[in-house]
Amino acid sequence: MADDKKLVQEITPMSEDFAQWYTDIVKKAELCDYTSVKGCMVIKPAGYAIWEAIQADLDRRFKATGVQNCYMPLFIPEGLLQKEKDHVEGFAPEVAWVTQGGLEPLQERMCVRPTSETLFCDYYAKTVQSYRDLPQLLNQWCSVVRWEKTTRPFLRSREFLWQEGHTVHATAEEAQARTEMMLNVYADFCEEDLAIPVVRGQKTDKEKFAGAIATYTIESLMHDGKALQSGTSHNFGDGFARAFGMQFTDKDNTLKYMHQTSWGMTTRMIGAIIMVHGDDSGLKLPPHIAPTQVIVIPIQMNKEGVVEKAAELKDRLAAAGIRVKLDDSDRRPGFKFADCEMRGIPLRVELGPKDIAAGQCVLVRRDTREKIVCPLSELEKTAADLLETIQKDMYDRAKEHRDSHTYDAQTLDEMKQIVAEHPGFIRAMWCGDRACEDKIKEEAGITSRCIPFHQVKVGEKCVCCGKPASKMLYWGVAY
């Protein structure tokens, strides 16, 4: 039994050291591992399976809006990157450069893509000629490199996986509509499939993406009260189009510049799942995204017919469309229970000789550890219903946590006090002045997260300068 408990004992309690708790879960649940390449990680099969589930769901949602997948080169010539001034300045500190090919120095150095706006611009400038070619709705699944100084598994690494969508449109109105549409796709995905509630809103000019005229974001709150930017959608207007000569002949036979958008979500969402739902026993995966939704564990496997019956239940669940595995290894049941809890499998089925004789099995929820006795004849329906209940309950708990850790502040001093005593989101009014935004960051140690679409007045005056204010912002300490 000592080995059964060891799995959990090796996880630092989140109340003791949240950062170490996170790292322990990443390692013990075998999601990823460190490598000899500093700042880069090996995403192990268990972690990559979660990313595949995220990818499949997002890809389905993208394609439902007309998006098609493509692939762009890994390298970007320096001259191409330099065409959009604000964009290159925004990424300059994070760019990795290739200066030699084989044994020869390159005539022009190449950057390893930190993002692909410039490549898509070059492509669209060459391929879009007429209004009949628009809109172009493209996305690519790839890795990017950003030379981060401080790294952390999934949350911030020098190379990470993501998708980046890049679209071009004939009008500013179409581009704005697509920008908002894709943000809502991300928000719906997070809330419906990851069971993570989000705040939808617009970034301030200070926090917007380099080269964008507007950046929209979804912000989520982790268990430790820190915010995580969970997906962004950018409207570039025609700024890149003018820099790259992206023109088309419109219906009135005049040349016009295209209007462009970009939007992305990354493997940091695996970190979000850990930090929103996990506990001191390991992961808790929302059923919609869990690679394995149900695990069947036979008890007293040496008894005749137990393993065979467990395999039958596994096949029945699979036939019902449930992602299921059978653990018929020779490890002790207690170890198996702890292991599947560590890995966050939403539901386990326990089956022993007495259960078979009684025509029943025991279902155990990962989120609450509640045990439900289920007649074998009703297994498929009961399991499917429980998975949906678990999904909903996980979202409700995460939303209750976010709402109970969202505070209103009227003054900068109140902000400082909340940051010191009650980590979470802070709602406060803002006058729109960049100087106030900078001062709040400097004195309270928090940044603006977004100007939420759903505005609620929490005062009449700017939290910093005291001048009249009409915008309410979410503020917080962010990963």
What was the pLDDT predicted at 304?
93
pLDDT tier, 8 (very low <50, low <70, confident <90, very high otherwise): low
Beta bridge partners of 32: 43
Express each pLDDT in 168-184 by its tens digit: 999 999 999 999 999 99
- CA–CA dist 233, 198 (Å, integer): 14
pLDDT tier, 125 (very low <50, low <70, confident <90, very high otherwise): very high
Averaged pLDDT, 382-393: 98
Express each pLDDT in 401-422 by its tens digit: 999 999 999 999 999 999 999 9
What was the pLDDT predicted at 82?
86
Lowest-pLDDT range, 1-15, 26-40, 357-371? 1-15
Whether 436 contacts 466, CB under 8 Å: no
Residue type, 372: I
Express each pLDDT in 47-95 by its tens digit: 999 999 999 999 999 999 999 999 999 999 999 988 877 766 777 788 9
Tokens of 117: 């706006």
What is the b/e burial string over 376-411, where b = at least 16 CB atoms within 10 angstroms of the residue's CB?
A: beebeebbbebbeebbeebbebbbebbeebbbbbee
DSSP string over 110-172: EEEPS--HHHHHHHHHHH--BGGG--EEEEEEEEEE---SS-BTTTB-SEEEEEEEEEEESSH
> Domain 406-476 sits in which CATH superfamily?
C-terminal domain of ProRS (3.30.110.30)
What was the pLDDT predicted at 1?
41
Tokens of 258: 């295209």
- CA–CA dist 17, 382 (Å, integer): 38
Helices (H), 161-256: 172-192, 239-244
Residue range 17-277, CATH number: 3.30.930.10
- CA–CA dist 264, 181 (Å, integer): 13
Averaged pLDDT, 26-46: 95
What was the pLDDT predicted at 89?
77
Dihedral angle over CA of 311, 316, 317, 320, nearest 10: 160
* Closest residue by Cα to residue 96 from 82, 72, 112: 112
Residue type, 141: W
What was the pLDDT predicted at 5?
52
DSSP 8-state class, residue 92: G
Query: Residue 43 pLDDT > 50, yes or no?
Result: yes
Express each pLDDT in 137-165 by its tens digit: 999 999 999 998 889 999 999 999 999 99
Give every CB contact of residue 178 below 8 A, 6+ residues apart in sequence. Answer: 135, 137, 167, 169, 261
Domain boundaries, the chain: 17-277, 294-389, 406-476
Whether 26 contacts 274, CB under 8 Å: yes
Averaged pLDDT, 239-260: 97
- CA–CA dist 152, 156 (Å, integer): 5
pLDDT tier, 9 (very low <50, low <70, confident <90, very high otherwise): low
CATH class, range 294-389: alpha beta
- CA–CA dist 103, 99 (Å, integer): 11
Which helix or strand (DSSP H or E) is residue 441 part of?
Answer: helix 434-444
Express each pLDDT in 95-124 by its tens digit: 999 999 999 999 999 999 999 999 999 999
Q: What percent of the chain shows pLDDT beyond 90?
A: 93
pLDDT tier, 2 (very low <50, low <70, confident <90, very high otherwise): very low
Tokens of 66: 């007309």
DSSP 8-state class, residue 212: -
